[in-house]
Every structure is written in C-alpha cells, then in structure tokens.
C-alpha cells in the first residue's frame, strides 16, 4: 500500500498498519529491537539525545500510569505546557498521547504516523534476526515527535516494560519516577527481582538530576541508591507536603503513586510558593484517570473499574468498593491472562460472598487461562453489557479488559486533567 493510500485510511486502520504491523508479524519469532528504533529516528532526522524539552521518565512494575498522570497535572498546575505519553491508554490507543491533559488531535496523530511510516520504509525489512519495532516504543516516539512540533516544556513519559531494555532509554531523563518494583515480567527482565530493578534503574543516567522512588524492598532500594549515587542523581521520596496535595484520593497504592508524581513535579520546578498551591491543587483534583479505582454510573447500576493484576491490588479494589457501597452486595468481574496472578485472585475471592465471573476475551493476544482454572462462572465478553446492568460491579484485570469495560460504559477519556 502506498503512503497516499495509507493516508486515506481511517485513523484506527492507519495506526494498526504503522504501529502494530512488525509486532504482529514477528512477536512469536523475535523480540523488540532498540537498535531498529534508533535507526528509525535517524531516518526521521530526530535526535533523541537533544529533545527541545525536558523529560521525566516513569518506570516500575505497577502504578506508572497514576504517577505519570499526577506528575503531568502537577506540572500543568505549576504553569508548564506538558506532554504525556502513557502506556497503555485507558480507553484506546488515542489517549496514550496528550498535550496539556487532552488527547492529541487526530490530524496531528495522522500526520506523525505518516512521517513514521515514510521513515520506516527507508529501513531494511524487519526479520526475526533484526527484531521488530515495538508498539510501545513507536507510541513513545510518536508522542515525542508531536511534542517537539507542538512546543511543550516538559514531557512525562511512561515506560512500556523495563528501563534499559525499553525505548524510553533513548532519551536523557531530567527526572525519573520509580513506582513499586516486584516480580513481574521475570521472563523478560529477570530471572530475579534484582534483575528487574537493575534494568529499570538503568534509565537513571548522568543526565538525571533527581529520582523519586516508591517505598521499595531493601534489595530494590539498595540497587536504586547505588545507581543514583554513581550517576550523582538525588534520590527522593514523597513527603507530607506531597501527600497533602493528593489527600482527596483514597488511601493506598493509588494515593502513594500520585504523591510520587507530585514529588517529581516539585523536584523539577523547585520551591512551590503558597500562591501557586491553589492552581496546583485545582489541577490535581481535576484528574480523571479511568480504570484506576474509578467509579462510573451505568443505567441504574454503578461500576468500579480497576486495573488490578495481583492479589494485593484486588484487595485494595475490594476495600474501595466496601468504602464506596458499604456492603459486599455486588459482583466481581475478572479477566486475567495466565501470566498474571490468577491464583491470588481466586484465593482472595473464595471468601467473597457475591457473584464471581471470569470474562473471557476470545483471541486476546495475552492469552486466556483454561476454563477449568476458574472455579466459578465463566462468560465471554459479548455478555459484558448485560452483566454490568445486573448489579453494582467491580471489574478488575488487565488494561486490555478494563479498557473494554470502560468502552462498554461509554466513558470519555478525552481529558486527563484541567490545565
């Protein structure tokens, strides 16, 4: 298909052709290639080591999106024009890339997609030996190209998976936010949690001025201390001031990760005057980040949507439902691939008295567990609309599932915060 023909496609089809084509062809035979991304940027005449804006990177195992959202909102409240790249989007791929909290407009996305495709055609074809352009890396590059063209002050960029092994490592990061690091993606970044921590910590370089970290295990904390010390980056934690800025959020992981984002914004900006706090608080309290313990109305019912993939995450979501509804008279809808903590979900839900339903997404690229792995009700996703109308609901699982739930609920993700 020629570039002219691609330009006539609907935006979703254009995105599929540009962003996902190499991954779909080679993901079972090869791996992502940072070298290929670097070659693509050369073909684009884009130099990532000299971006026209500052960059804050967000890495970690869980909670990166929340930290990125609140870092972006805090910076906007302090007067910066902010670009945000999130991985993945909450409702669709369109809301991965935002300027001043709003989804980048379709003509802008379309233009940059065609620029990327034109440059990609200058490269040798992707093979199992060369590796492929990862979708997360292409969305990150797409965002950075848009930000360079739109004149933003600071980019807040969420890593896909990893740190040194992620395309985020192409950019010099002025600041780094590290959310909780634990035993996730060990098959890619492991085999140990220490290996995962070293990979993620490697985005702290000589260009990094500060690193803000979640309270980590002793082993992970030591790795971060050593990395920051060797690169002369100041290692920070969230303090009482940051928690006061987000005290409107429920206690738990979400509030902690939001405070990390605020701490990063404060570290980049410097002293926040009393006269600036009102604008900062207004921006933070305007954040609408669906899919992270977000509450939505659907007909006569309510639904809490949370991208929990561990037993601890499910516990937090169940606690939030109890605080919200004051009872356990609701249903829980779950969708997890076999690589996530399905066993932990089952263990936690054995004591839950309500209806427990696994929602299968047939053909999901993440895979689905065997039917006999779930001891309760099992349905396919074509019944989702009907299920959500049958009572108050907690929908928990991967973003692939929660984004489907949010689309079914007709949630608008156009705005992340008010600048």
Task: Please report the domains of the chain, with CATH numbers, ordered by start residue.
Answer: 3-285 (3.40.1190.10), 292-408 (3.90.190.20)
Please list the residues that pair with 213 across neighbouring strands: 178
Backbone angles phi, psi at 388, to 5 degrees: -65, -15
CA-wise closest residue to 120 among 51, 235, 38:
38
CA 65 to CA 289: how far, in whole Å? 9
Backbone angles phi, psi at 52, to 5 degrees: -80, 20
- Residue 343 has a pLDDT of 95
Query: Would you give the DSSP letter of residue 128?
Result: T
CA-wise closest residue to 216 among 224, 208, 207, 204:
224
CA-wise closest residue to 296 among 398, 402, 417, 379:
402
Phi-psi label, residue 151: left if phi above 0, alpha if psi -120 to 50, beta otherwise: left
Point out the residues of the chain with pLDDT beneath 70: 185-186
Query: Would you give the DSSP letter of residue 105?
Result: P
Backbone angles phi, psi at 11, to 5 degrees: -60, -40
CA 252 to CA 259: how far, in whole Å? 11
CA 122 to CA 319: how far, in whole Å? 53
Give the pTM.
Answer: 0.94
CA 267 to CA 48: how far, in whole Å? 23
Please list the residues that pair with 212 across neighbouring strands: 177, 236
CA 52 to CA 153: how far, in whole Å? 8
CA 284 to CA 274: how far, in whole Å? 16
Please list the residues that pair with 83 across neighbouring strands: 99, 155
What's the half-sphere exposure (Cβ side, CA atoms, 13 Å) at 100?
9
- Residue 332 has a pLDDT of 98
Cis check for the bond before 191: say yes or no (omega within 30 of 0). Answer: yes
Which pairing describes strands 102-103 and 97-99: parallel, antiparallel, or unpaired?
antiparallel
CA 114 to CA 116: how far, in whole Å? 5
CA 239 to CA 85: how far, in whole Å? 26
- Residue 186 has a pLDDT of 67
Residues 6+ apart with CB under 8 A from 93: 15, 19, 139
């Amino acid at each position: 298909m020629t570039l002219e023909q691609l330009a006539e496609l609907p935006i979703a089809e254009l995105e599929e052709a540009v962003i996902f084509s190499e991954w779909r062809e080679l993901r079972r035979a090869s791996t992502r290639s940072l070298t290929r991304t670097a070659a693509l940027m050369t073909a684009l005449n884009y130099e990532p080591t000299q971006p026209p804006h500052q960059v804050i990177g967000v890495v970690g195992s869980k909670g990166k999106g929340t930290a990125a959202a609140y870092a972006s909102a805090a910076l906007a409240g302090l007067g910066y024009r902010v670009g945000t790249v999130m991985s993945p989007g909450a409702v669709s791929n369109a809301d991965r890339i935002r300027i001043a909290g709003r989804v980048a407009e379709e003509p802008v996305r379309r233009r940059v997609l065609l620029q990327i495709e034109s440059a990609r055609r200058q490269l040798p074809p992707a093979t199992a030996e060369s590796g492929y352009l990862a979708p997360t890396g292409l969305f990150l590059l797409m965002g950075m190209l848009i930000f360079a063209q739109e004149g933003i002050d600071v980019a807040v960029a969420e890593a896909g998976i990893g740190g040194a092994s992620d395309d985020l490592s192409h950019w010099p990061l002025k600041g780094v936010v590290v959310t909780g690091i634990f035993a996730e993606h060990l098959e890619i970044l492991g085999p140990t949690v220490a290996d995962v921590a070293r990979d993620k910590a490697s985005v702290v370089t000589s260009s990094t001025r500060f690193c803000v970290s979640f309270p980590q295990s002793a082993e992970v904390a030591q790795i971060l201390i050593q990395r920051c010390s060797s690169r002369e980056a100041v290692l920070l934690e969230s303090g009482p001031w940051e928690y006061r800025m987000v005290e409107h959020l429920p206690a738990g992981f979400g509030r902690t990760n939001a405070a990390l984002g605020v701490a990063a914004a404060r570290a980049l900006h410097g002293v926040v005057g009393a006269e600036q706090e009102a604008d900062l608080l207004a921006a933070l309290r305007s954040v609408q980040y669906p899919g992270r313990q977000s509450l939505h109305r659907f007909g006569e019912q309510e639904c809490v949507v949370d991208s929990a993939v561990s037993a601890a995450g499910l516990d937090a979501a169940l606690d939030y439902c109890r605080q919200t509804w004051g009872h356990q008279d609701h249903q829980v809808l779950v969708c997890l691939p076999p690589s996530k903590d399905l066993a932990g979900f089952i263990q936690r839900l054995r004591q839950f008295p309500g209806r427990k339903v696994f929602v299968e997404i047939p053909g999901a690229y993440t895979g689905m567990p065997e039917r006999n792995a779930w001891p309760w009700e099992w349905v396919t996703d074509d019944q989702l609309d009907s299920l959500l109308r049958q009572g108050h609901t907690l929908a928990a699982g991967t973003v692939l599932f929660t984004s489907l739930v949010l689309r079914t609920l007709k949630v608008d993700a156009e705005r992340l915060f008010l600048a």
